[in-house]
Amino acid sequence: MDYHFVVVAHRVLVTAFLVHYVWKTFLLLSNKKDTLAAYTAKTRIAEMLVALLFMLSGFYMIYAGPSLSATMWIKIAMVFASIPIAIIGFRRNIKPMAIVAVLLLVGAYGLAEMNKAKYKKEDKAPVDTSTVAGDPVAVGKEVYTAKCVACHGDAGDAQLAGAKNLKITTLTDDQQKDIILHGKGGMSAFPLPDDQLNGVIAYLKTLKQ
């Protein structure tokens, strides 16, 4: 299964689910009980399907992705906490519970976006390899540990988050450099200076030995 596709699908599903519950909360707070009841009846199956798919895609991302940060564990806890609160709140028309459920979902969405922005910033942050300058393999290992281990693993074959197995890759040096510099699929671009880029390529060769 394509990890990047699952990530994109998960975001679409979560956004749809959030918009759906914001609308239901608006109807509840506006005391439009008949409209809410009719909307709920019409969307019940779709709601269950979207909820199931976003939960399954989320579990897959946990299983196949890199280790989660504390922020993401908090996000997951918020999502799970929102579900029973939302069920009770809307079934019994308890407005405070409905509001809390939506706020938890909004907060979880916000944490996910913050985490995404954090990793993008870290991807662009420079790696200090001055202590091993002059040794391409050592330089490459420093960069690999800082930028690549999370998805490729120490040995290059972890294959997390859709990462390829670097131990058996048949890509040429130039092809690998192009992917590192420009990214591909779910992999971010890493604008490394020439010495670090060449160092990474040199280090990757050691993973095949």
What CATH number has the domain bearing residue 178? 1.10.760.10
* 186, 7 Cβ separation under 8 angstroms: yes
Domain end, chosen from 63, 94, 123, is at 123
* pLDDT tens, per residue, the chain with 209 residues: 788 899 899 999 999 999 999 999 999 999 999 999 999 999 999 999 999 998 999 999 998 888 888 999 999 999 999 999 999 999 999 999 999 999 999 999 999 999 888 887 877 889 999 999 999 999 999 999 999 998 999 999 999 988 999 999 999 999 999 999 999 988 889 999 999 999 999 999 999 87
pLDDT at position 208, please?
87
The residue segments making up the domain with residue 29 are: 3-123
Q: Are 171 and 179 in contact (CB under 8 A)?
A: yes
Query: Pick from 123, 148, 177: which residue ends a domain?
Result: 123
Q: How many domains does the chain have?
A: 2
35 and 110 share one domain: yes
Asked if 85 contacts 101 with a C-beta cutoff of 8 angstroms, the reply is yes
Q: How far apart (Å, rounded) are the C-alpha atoms in residues 82 and 77?
A: 9
Residue 10 shares a structural domain with residue 109: yes
Does residue 97 sit in the same domain as residue 148?
A: no
3-state secondary structure the chain: CCHHHHHHHHHHHHHHHHHHHHHHHHHHHCCCHHHHHHHHHHHHHHHHHHHHHHHHHHHHHHHHCCCCCHHHHHHHHHHHHHHHHHHHHHHCCCHHHHHHHHHHHHHHHHHHHHHHHHHHHHHHCCCCCHHHCCCHHHHHHHHHHHHCHHHHCCCCCCCHHHCCCCCCCCCCHHHHHHHHHHCECCECCCCCCHHHHHHHHHHHHHHCC
pTM above 0.85, yes or no: no
Residues 134, 189, single domain; the answer is yes
pLDDT at 2: 82
Q: Which residues pair with 184 in a beta bridge?
A: 187
Radius of gyration of the chain (CA): 22
148/162 same-domain check: yes
Same-domain pairing of 102 and 10 = yes
31 and 20 in a common domain: yes
- The answer to whether residues 42 and 131 belong to one domain is no
Which has the closest alpha carbon to 51: 76, 77, 16? 16
Measured CA to CA, the distance from residue 97 to residue 205 in angstroms comes to: 56
Answer yes or no: do 98 and 191 share one domain: no
Same-domain check for residues 94 and 119: yes
Q: Domain check: are 178 and 106 in the same one?
A: no
| End position of a domain, from candidates 123, 153, 177 | 123
Task: Indicate whether 145 and 93 sit together in one domain.
Answer: no
